[in-house]
Amino acid sequence: MRKLYLLIIVSMVILIMSVSVFSQTITLQVWDVFDPVTSPDARAREELFKQYEEENPGIKIEHNVIVYADLHDKAVVSGAAGSGPDILHMLGEWIPEFSMMGIIEDVTDKVNSWEDKQYFPDSTWDVAFYNGHCYGIPSIASPRVLLYRKDYFDSVGITNAPTTWDEMKEDAKKLTRDTTGDGKTDVYGFAFCSSSDAIRGPQEFLPFLWQTGAEWVIKENEIWKPGFTIDQAQEVFQLYYDLVHTLNVCPPGSIGWGYLEMDNAFVVGQTAMCHNGSWMQHYEENAGEIFKNWGGAKMPANENSATYFEVKVEGIGKFSKNKEEAWKLLTWLLAKDQMAKHTAGDNLPSRTDVISLPQFQEDTFKTPFLEAISDGKPYPKLPMAESNKLMMNELQNVLYQKKTPEQAAQDLLKGLEDILISINE
């Protein structure tokens, strides 16, 4: 009897395995951050996946929604184990490290022979390329702007958004006040990210550095070197210090904030200004009338104007077993009609033939983002994980008053030099 049971179990296992081997269904795993619960663009993307499945019987799309920090780590871990998704959504700054690790597919030939390549600006292809090879298609390209509450500005008599660091500090001071009459400050002028694990923190720090006329790194004779002086870094640290300690325009306990805390503080009206991206538009549904009071402007300048130009890239996993089908899905998803649907809400599309459509050009919320593209700079093209951590650690040292801005600037420069030694080796 026991032998009969064993025979039945083994037969069932063989049957199940043979069905899966001979089945015509190909499952494509897509890893991205687009959550249909919170984002209208993500819901549109889900609908497009369903449409693709209907138009392509035999293809099943398994969509995994993972937040950015975890998406990075999951891609690294699975890649180290020789597995991973078919399609991977990436921040542009991940391209150098993922290509060096060999976990994303080189699609240079595919891209060069793709007829739609011409519709993506060179500045976005620059991000998708590393060392002459292309690792994906840019899907979203959006600069950061100064997001602010127009109604708060009106209530304190500020007519225009600040255009310089000094104006920003002055306006933040005026905007920090008690609005309820209970004697306690409940609106703060400015907020920023400084969590040591934040992706957003370095994306805010770097534009401030660029605005001093500096670069994070420069390449001379194929050797990476720091692109800033101690004075330039000190100026940036001093700005952060002034906002928190000298002017007291940041919410208490905001040292160490990540993007969730910062975005939420702006949404609930606790802060009047922050640097932010076009995704904030997905709060329109929930924010209601308050959303109409949100305005955007180019980031205030110092020696020059600069902002972070974020390009997100969708690539094919190196260990995908269905690369041709994945490429087919990717090029379909990022074709003009489809991109217009899944970037209509809270993202800016990378295609010029999509961004020129009236739905983007006439959307007043998107206007400052479109105007800021000319000031946009992408991340430096080298692995940034260690230097991001260094940047945020030194910033926290200043904010927690463990170091002066000058000491932090010196240590930042020294620390970056040490990191670049191993990168240059």
Partner 1 sequence: MATIQRIRKTIYVYKYFVIIFILIGGLMLYPLIDGFYLSLYQKNLMYPAKEKFLLFGNFKKLFFDDPMFWLVFKNSLIFTVASVGFEYLLGLSSALLLNSKHVPMKNFFRGIVLLPWIVPIAVNSLNWKWMLLPEYGYINIVLKVLGFGNLARGWLTDLKTVFPTVILVNVWRSFPFFTVVILAALTLIPKDLFEAAQIDGANRWQTFRHITFPGIKGISFVIITLHIVWTFSNFDVIYLLTGGGPLHYTEVLPTYLYQQGFHFFKIGYACSIGVFIFLFLVVTIGFYFTKISSIQEAK
Which residues lie near partner 1 (CB under 8 A)? 73, 76-77, 79-80, 97, 100-102, 195-197, 251-257, 261, 265, 270, 383, 385-386, 389, 393, 396-397, 400, 402, 425
CB of 194 to partner 1, least distance (A): 9
CB of 100 to partner 1, least distance (A): 4
In the complex with partner 1, the residue whose CB is nearer, 105 or 375, is: 105
Per-residue DSSP letter, 243: I
The distance of closest approach from Cβ of residue 170 to partner 1 in the complex, given in angstroms and rounded to an integer, is 25
The 10 Å Cβ neighbour count of residue 404 is 15
| Nearest approach, Cβ of residue 81 and partner 1 (Å) | 11
The C-alpha atoms of residue 394 and residue 219 are separated, in whole angstroms, by 23
Closer residue to partner 1 in complex, CB, 329/382? 382
The secondary element (H helix, E strand) that includes residue 398 is helix 385-399
Give CA–CA dist 184/294, Å, rounded: 24
DSSP three-state, residue 86: coil
What is the token pair recorded at 231? 């004075």
| Residue 135 vs 165, nearer CB to partner 1 | 135
Distances from the Cα of 328 to the Cαs of 140, 145, 182, 261, in angstroms?
19, 34, 60, 38
Residue 74 beta carbon to partner 1: minimum distance, rounded to whole angstroms: 10
The Cα 45–Cα 28 span in angstroms is 15
Count how many residues are written for the chain. 425
3-state SS class at 160: coil
Residue 363 or 386: the one with the smaller Cβ distance to partner 1 is 386
Shortest separation between residue 341's beta carbon and partner 1, angstroms: 33
Instruction: Give the contacts of 418 (CB within 8 A, at least 6 positions apart).
Output: none
| Alpha carbons 350 and 329: distance in angstroms, whole number | 17
Q: Write down the least CB distance from residue 223 to partner 1, Å.
A: 16
Q: Is 108 exposed, middle or buried (0-12, 13-18, 19+ CB in 10 A)?
A: middle
What does the radius of gyration of the chain's CA atoms come to, in whole angstroms? Answer: 24
Shortest distance in whole angstroms from residue 77 CB to partner 1: 6
Taking the alpha carbons at both ends of the chain, their separation in whole angstroms is 67
Please, which residue, 73 or 178, has the CB nearer to partner 1? 73
Q: Do 285 and 365 touch, CB atoms closer than 8 A?
A: no
Closer CB to partner 1, 12 or 260, in the complex: 260
Residue closer to partner 1, measured from CB, 290 or 301: 290
Nearer to partner 1, 52 or 241 (CB): 241
